[in-house]
Structure 1
Amino acid sequence: MGGRWIRLIHGPSVTGCDYAGAVREPVQRFRTGGAGLTQSQLAERACVHTETIASVEQGRRPLKPDLAALLDQVLLRGR
């Protein structure tokens, strides 16, 4: 579990604008396309603030391993 996100955050090193794009697009794609969830719904299911999800998607907050694993679990259940 946490495989797809763990690879994302531990894969090739990206910083700044590259990091924002590298994280934002996959998180939004899995949230909206794969699981069909809004930011609020994902936040509620993951027991985090909506702002946390928004910040990760916008590249303002790094996607840390513990949150990555949690999002993986929630998004897999949402399918």
Structure 2
Amino acid sequence: MENQRDFCTECRRETNYTLKKIKINQTIWEKEYTFEITAAFCNKCGGEMGIPGLMDYNMKEIDEQYRKASDNIGG
């Protein structure tokens, strides 16, 4: 999926972007978790881009990681 094109709101033009894994912290039921999600970054300015469908994909990634972490806790 590398070198796809979409509109960058930072550059204000259509540019290529690269998908990279990043870590985010989220608190669920007063417990903090670190999740690895996929983000798109503009190849021109380096800004993070909102790519159609990426938010849904990340929700699936977070759900899978949360369920795995919850099973390891014994919940």
TM-score by length of 1: 0.31
